[in-house]
Amino acid sequence: MKVFASLIVATMAQQDGVESNGWIANPDAPHCGCQILLDTATVGQTWNYINQTCSLSFKYPSLYSPIANVDPHFVSVASSYMVGRDKKNNGGGGASKFMFTGYDEVSNAAQLDILVFYEQSDCFRDGSDGVNTNFSAIEQSTHWEYYNMTAQQQEDLCAFELTCEDTGAVPGVHLGNFNYDIARSVQTYTVPIYGLEEDSEATFTIVDYNGDPNNCMNAEAHHGHGTASGCSTNSTTGCSNVLTFKHDQGHQGLLEYFQFEPVSPTNNPVCFSLPIHHIDDYNWQTPSPWDTQQQYADANP
């Protein structure tokens, strides 16, 4: 029998088993967000996501965005493994469902650690019209007023809905979180991959949170974990967001690791088409494990 459970939290205050810490944006760090910690032992074993399929969504962007964003800029669930991203509600103004699972011995059964950043345009005080404000033309000492969110906004930053279904261990190949430093546009992403059988390979199309291609560079497996290939080369015809990982190290482990870099003006200017200047770093579109996993699942039903 399948067991369903759901949890809706709309408060920044600490509750039994749920601790949330939201933050507002500022001109130097224009992405607001929240970290949410769920103690599975306190909240109940129903929230132990191990061998369950969980769906996570956030209501904040739909409540306040002047340009009708319905989803966050970035979502992470520590030590989880991606099942995909359900965007079918977007057309009706609803938020996506970020779907994940956990596995015995490789996921933290004691806690769910959720991290969310919202788009810059969603991080201004309600009614301030910060999206259309030319900040270079107004007194710098007044900039903070545009980011000084109302108490209700700050509470809603941490509002989420989590639904889990007792499906048993989810079969197939699944990516873990991509590491992400929101203040930098060039770094190495370390990627766990779970469920790939020995002598098998999996090919991933790296995309961002908008589903657009995110060209990669320097694909490499961690020592002893396999072989990684693909991504871009330093040539005018070698731009690629396709990466292949092969489990070929002669052991039967199901958890392996590879890494890649996004292309940048430094490692591959030909394949870099996003903002170059340092002042635009926060416009960087990070690769999305949710959407990359969904692309893989769609190609390998």
DSSP class per residue in the chain: ---EEEEEE--SS-BTTEEEEEE--BTTB---EEEEEEEHHHH-GGG--BT-EEEEEE-HHHHH-TT---S-SEEEETT-EEEEEE-TTGGGTPPPEEEEEB-TTTS-TTEEEEEEE--GGGSSPTTS-GGG--GGGS-GGGHHHHH---HHHHHHTT-EEEEEE---SPPS-EEBPPP--TT-SS-PEEEEEE-PPTT-EEEEE-BBTTS-B--EEEEEEPTTT-EEEESB-SSTT----EEEEE--SS---SEEEEEEEE--TTT-GGG--S--SGGGGGG---B-HHHHHHHHHHH--
pLDDT confidence band for 216 (50 / 70 / 90): very high
42 in the same domain as 16: yes
Q: Residue 186 — pLDDT band, cuts 50, 70, 90? A: low
Q: Are residues 110 and 88 in the same domain?
A: yes
Other beta carbons less than 10 A from residue 82's beta carbon: 25
63, 178: one domain: no
Domain total for the chain? Answer: 2
Q: What percent of the chain has pLDDT over 70?
A: 84
Q: Is 66 a residue whose pLDDT tops 70?
A: no
| Range scoring the smallest mean pLDDT among 191-200, 267-276, 288-297 | 267-276
pLDDT more than 90, % of the chain: 57
Residues 195 and 124 in one domain: no
CA distances from 217 to 209, 210, 260, 280, 290 (A): 18, 20, 6, 21, 20
Give per-residue pLDDT as tens, 160-173. 999 899 999 999 99
| Residue range 111-161, pLDDT digits in tens | 999 999 999 889 999 989 888 888 889 998 899 999 999 999 999 999 999
Same domain, yes or no: 148 and 274 = no
What are 40-50's pLDDT values in tens digits? 877 655 567 99
Q: In the listed set 165, 196, 226, which residue is the last one of a domain according to the structure?
A: 165
Binned at pLDDT 50, 70 and 90, residue 20 comes out as: very high
pLDDT-derived band at 28, boundaries 50, 70, 90: confident
Domain boundary among 142, 165, 188: 165
Do 87 and 212 have their domain in common? no
Residues 279 and 144 in one domain: no
Domain that holds residue 263: 174-299
11 and 159 part of one domain? yes
Q: Are residues 137 and 210 in the same domain?
A: no
Computed over every residue of the chain, the mean pLDDT equals 85
> The tokens 């408060």 sit on which residue?
11
Same domain flag for 268 and 154: no
Q: What is the separation, in whole angstroms, between the first and last Cα of the chain? A: 24
Which one of 137, 165, 193 terminates a domain? 165
Do residues 70 and 183 both lie within one domain?
no
Same domain, 125 and 213: no
The rounded distance, in Å, linking the Cα atoms of 256 and 258 is 7
